[in-house]
Amino acid sequence: MTSTENDRKKNRYHFDRHTPEYRPQFAKITEEMLEKCPVAWTDTYDGHWVAAGSKEVFELARCPAVSNHHDLTGETPYKGITIPTAKRSSGVRGGMLEMDDPEHRTYRNVLNPYLSPAAVARWEPFIDETVRACLDEKIADGQIDFVDDLANIVPAVLTLAMLGIPLKKWAMYSEPTHASVYTPEDSPDIERVLAMHREMGIDLLTTMVEIRDHPRPGLMNALLQMTIDGGPAPDLEILGMLGLIIGGGFDTTTALTAHSLEWLSGHPDQRELLSTDRDGLLDPATEEFLRFFTPAPGDGRTFSKDVEIEGNRFKEGERLWISWAMANRDPAVFHDPNEVVLDRKGNRHFSFGIGVHRCIGSNVARTVFKSMLTAVLDRMPDYRCDPDGAAHYETIGVIQGMRKLPATFTPGTRVGAGLDETLGKLQRICDEQELARPITERKEAAVID
């Protein structure tokens, strides 16, 4: 390495977020990096930059010389948002999250009218009814697993509804989507997970063909109908977009909900406070849980030009990890960054990303989270999570998630039908009221009969 190279990479930090040791050391690593090297070079995974500081993350995420593009030929250094490049992802780009403008914008414009705040608000009665059914399945038992019985189900059901996929298939989509995030590629369970993933992929393709022949409202139809460069979008790009919507729609909201419910169980006084002052606290508490738990902890990028930012000189082709999770703990922006402060002010957190790639599902995430949280506070107000049964993802390099969160509570009474019956009813309502139409075509909220 030349002396200029050494000079450029003088801030070094051994950073490996994929090891099991990373999770318990996250706060310590973050403090060290923020204090000593808010941008550092690490030799892990063929070498890449890591941005931890809030200022650096803010500038890099908005920098036009920082690219999301993923070149599947592997002939250029553009490797998209994953570090290291996942074996499974080769063959399909990760939808618009692995595109730059103007291509990214073309796809994003197609999705926007389905996912804007106004578009998502129409789904609230549908979401509340799904949540109600999930809780009714367990309310008389006095025990529930908040991951398996609630937080895995609701985001999956809603995402399928928005796509135009039958709701009853939620389990076929949910299990492989979560399992492929937390199952390492060398795990003995990986073959089973991959088989489930293939089954989901085949169903996705079959549904694509079906909707192409017989259009029905939803995100999948929108992607099939769109035009780019004067023609339809390539099937592989549509598949990448669908993978992004499913991956982004399922695991992240589950992760946020499970962590928040676990934290509230451990802080009953704060839970009481939140429950009694929902008008004042539900919004800021949701943002604070987003900041503190950062379900999607970061994204990879590639420099597309030589550029200098905040005194750091980067070279074209170098890879970069932008850590939303570490920026979210920067004391320069957040006082007492390692504390959960339910009524935090000025909470300009990084959890949905910064810049043109802001999480397009952010409105869905907040709405689904709030519905699940408030229903639990209403119907299981004294719930207690079992610390021995709680299972966090062993590695949090991709998603800071949970696999299990068992809890007990004082049993209550059912107020409606169970999940299967409810999903049958919601499917009929989806079809009759054409809920999956974009906001430009349908303004009214869902009506649950």
Partner 1 sequence: MTVKVRVDGERCQGHTLCKMVAPDSFELDEIDGSSSPVSEVVPPDQEDAVREAVHSCPEQAIFIEETW
How far apart are the C-alpha atoms of 372 and 393, rounded to whole Å? 21
Give the binding range for partner 1 (CB under 8 A) out of 129-137, 257-265, 312-320, 354-362.
Answer: 354-362
Minimum distance between the CB of residue 218 and partner 1, rounded to whole angstroms? 17
Residues that contact partner 1, how many (by CB under 8 A): 26
Site string for partner 1, 89-128 (x = CB under 8 A): --------------------x--xx--xxxx---------
Minimum distance between the CB of residue 353 and partner 1, rounded to whole angstroms? 9
Minimum distance between the CB of residue 99 and partner 1, rounded to whole angstroms? 16
Q: Whose Cβ is closer to partner 1: residue 359's or residue 419's?
A: 359
> Which residue among 3, 311, 346, 413 contacts partner 1 (CB under 8 A)?
346
Minimum distance between the CB of residue 121 and partner 1, rounded to whole angstroms? 10
Minimum distance between the CB of residue 348 and partner 1, rounded to whole angstroms? 5
CB within 8 Å of 151: residues ≥ 6 apart:
253, 254, 257, 258, 261, 372, 405
DSSP 116: S
How far apart are the C-alpha atoms of 3 and 121, rounded to whole Å? 56
Helix (H, G, I), strand (E, B), or coil: what is residue 208?
A: helix
225 part of the interface to partner 1, by CB under 8 A: no
Give the C-alpha distances (Å, rounded to integers) separating 152 from 52, 132, 162, 173, 324. Answer: 30, 14, 16, 10, 23
Helix (H, G, I), strand (E, B), or coil: what is residue 216?
A: coil
* Six-digit token string for 356: 């043109």
User: Identity (one letter) of the amino acid at 28?
Assistant: K
> Which residue among 349, 370, 379, 403 contacts partner 1 (CB under 8 A)?
349
Residues 401-440 interacting with partner 1 (rule: CB under 8 A): 439-440
> Which residue among 40, 354, 380, 390 contacts partner 1 (CB under 8 A)?
354
Helix (H, G, I), strand (E, B), or coil: what is residue 393?
A: coil
DSSP 167: G
Q: Whose Cβ is closer to partner 1: residue 85's or residue 347's?
A: 347
What per-residue string of b and e applies to 4-34 under the rule 16 or more CB within 10 Å gives b?
eeeebbeeebebebeeeebeeebeebbbebb
Minimum distance between the CB of residue 347 and partner 1, rounded to whole angstroms? 6
Q: Whose Cβ is closer to partner 1: residue 24's or residue 346's?
A: 346
DSSP 296: S
Find the Cα–Cα–Cα–Cα dihedral 42, 178, 111, 448, rounded to 10°. -150
Q: Whose Cβ is closer to partner 1: residue 6's or residue 109's?
A: 109
How far apart are the C-alpha atoms of 78 and 105, rounded to whole Å? 19
Q: How many CA atoms lie within 13 A of 428 on its CB side?
A: 7
> Which residue among 15, 292, 314, 352 contacts partner 1 (CB under 8 A)?
352
Q: Whose Cβ is closer to partner 1: residue 248's or residue 406's?
A: 248
Site string for partner 1, 355-384 (x = CB under 8 A): xx-x---xx---------------------
Backbone angles phi, psi at 335, to 5 degrees: -65, 150
Minimum distance between the CB of residue 252 and partner 1, rounded to whole angstroms? 16
Give the binding range for partner 1 (CB under 8 A) out of 158-166, 201-209, 347-355, 403-411.
Answer: 347-355
Concatenated DSSP letters of 309-348: ETTEEE-TT-EEEEEHHHHTT-TTTSSSTTS--TT-SS--
> Which residue among 283, 339, 421, 432 contacts partner 1 (CB under 8 A)?
283
Minimum distance between the CB of residue 97 and partner 1, rounded to whole angstroms? 14
Give the binding range for partner 1 (CB under 8 A) out of 64-72, 76-84, 302-310, 344-352.
Answer: 344-352
How far apart are the C-alpha atoms of 39 and 53, rounded to whole Å? 7
CB within 8 Å of 158: residues ≥ 6 apart:
123, 126, 127, 130, 249, 364, 368
Residues 151-180 interacting with partner 1 (rule: CB under 8 A): none
> Which residue among 350, 369, 393, 409 contacts partner 1 (CB under 8 A)?
350
Minimum distance between the CB of residue 286 and partner 1, rounded to whole angstroms? 9
Minimum distance between the CB of residue 38 and partner 1, rounded to whole angstroms? 18
Residues at the site binding partner 1, with contacts judged by CB under 8 A = 58, 62, 109, 112-113, 116-119, 283, 287, 345-350, 352, 354-356, 358, 362-363, 439-440
